[in-house]
Amino acid sequence: MPVTLNTSEPDFEARFIDMLSAKREDSADVNDAVAGIIAQVRKRGDAALCELTSRFDRLDLTPGTLRFSAREIAAHVAKVSTEDRAALTLAAERIRAYHERQMPEDASWTDAQGATLGWRWSPVSAAGLYVPGGQAAYPSSVLMNAIPARVAGVERLVICVPTPNGHVNPLVLLAAQLSGVDEIYRIGGAQAVAAMAYGTDTIAPVDKITGPGNAYVAAAKRQVFGRVGIDMIAGPSEVLVIAEGDQNPDWLALDLLAQAEHDADAQSILITTDPVLGHAVAGAVDRILPTLPRAQIAGASWRDYGTIIIVRDLDEAAALSNRIAPEHLELCVDDPEALAAKCVHAGAIFLGGFTPEAVGDYVSGPNHVLPTARSARFSSGLSVLDFLKRTTLARLTPGALNAVGHAAMRLAAAEGLQAHGESIRARLELLNERAGE
């Protein structure tokens, strides 16, 4: 049974804090194991990749078979049904169209002192995209990671996707093809992250690594950060649904279960102003849950982390939502836009009863790689900007340097950095000499 909280009860605050602080990730410390894997890949390269893939994925590879060949990709992609191909193509088109609107513009202007200032945007040269392939393989993750990178102008896109026991998901390869991916490697885990970060004889290193994964992948991304950029350290997924009393309880139950079936550590939360609706949703979950193919996973998630919170009004719901800072926020209320304006901490917001979070995982357009574990308080979901770098530009005329240089010299002196000041003084002295001629 899920936890039920009520803001009117005296122990609500303590129980709410307990819910916020509950650890939903595997408590096993994997950092040492991951550090050892990274060290092996750095030292032994392809040989380590082959050995680790044999051990963890039960797949024997050679350096020559780490990468999918063009012929293999074509053969697997040919297995995709016409209907699945059409659905994936539609998703790719919508995701691309959305992310194309995110492209920022370069800027340049001349200020009152005559200094020309601005910035320009340029893509990273190579990006590595990790795609989970353990419990399930997700072609949607390929689209959500690769398309923004390609829209940003990244020249080289690399995908690593584990293929345990040699099992290949043709939809993943088709998604890579639709996204314009250059290289696909059948390796996973911390060893794949290490290969993309440091390179081997077969796999050239990249500049940035994105994509979700298990605790080992997350730890590896954390450890290689600095050598390469990363998108985020993602934890278990979560959804918060805020609903009023006239909503369909079966729909809400399905939305909660859609999140729960991801992982036993996922969390589904319902906040409602109506206790009767909360009870009806709990009953609908109990009725629908046994019918799901992933009932065991979803059931564990709902049992251990499912929560129903009864609030006095929607203002109180918004305040709690901002404290939770959910990855996904569904607003199943009469005026979702008004409520959304009050919800300032969320990875993605889904407005209205006909906008289930599940559609956002696939075809609505915005990215589904989102901040988890309350990190939406300070971070955003994956976007084109994650694959771009901003370089500032400045050009001072002699007059502009004369106008601002003396202030810079004063600040350099205040910080005890003599050479800083002298580099400016030398130029100003030349200007003064010229002025006196």
The 10s digit of each residue's pLDDT in 182-207 is 899 999 999 999 999 999 999 999 99
Residues making up the binding site for NAD(+): 130, 191, 214
Q: Judge residue 414's burial from the number of C-beta atoms within 10 Å of its C-beta, 0-12 exposed, 13-18 middle, 19 or more buried.
A: exposed
CA 243 – CA 251 distance, rounded (Å): 11
Low-confidence ranges of the chain (pLDDT < 70): 24-28, 134-136, 437
pLDDT score of 83: 98
Amino acid identity at 50: C
For residue 430, the SS3 value is helix
- Among 89, 284, 73, 240, which Cα is nearest to 168's? 73
Q: Which residue has the tokens 């945007």?
A: 121
Residue ranges for the known binding site are: 130, 191, 214, 237, 259, 262, 328, 361, 415, 420
Q: Residues annotated in the binding site for Zn(2+), as ranges?
A: 259, 262, 361, 420
DSSP H helical ranges for 325-394: 336-340, 357-360
- Based on C-alpha coordinates, what's the Rg of the chain? 26
Catalogue the active-site residues: 327-328
| Annotated binding-site positions for substrate | 237, 259, 262, 328, 361, 415, 420
Say what the pLDDT of residue 202 is: 98
- In sequence order, the 6+-apart residues with CB closer than 8 A to the CB of 67 are 183, 184, 185, 186, 202, 203
Give whole-number Cα distances, 359 to 249, 269, 353, in Å: 18, 18, 12
**CATH superfamily placement of domain 3-20+235-364:** Nitrogenase molybdenum iron protein domain (3.40.50.1980)
Give the model's pLDDT for residue 135.
52
Beta strands 116-123; 388-395: pairing state:
antiparallel
According to CATH, the topology of domain 31-107+122-234 is: Rossmann fold (3.40.50)
Q: CA of 303: how far to CAs of 117, 289, 421, in Å?
A: 57, 11, 65
Strand order in the sheet with 107-110: 107-110, 116-123, 388-395
Distance between alpha carbon 277 and the CA centroid of its chain, in Å? 33
* Parallel/antiparallel/unpaired status of strands 107-110 and 116-123: antiparallel
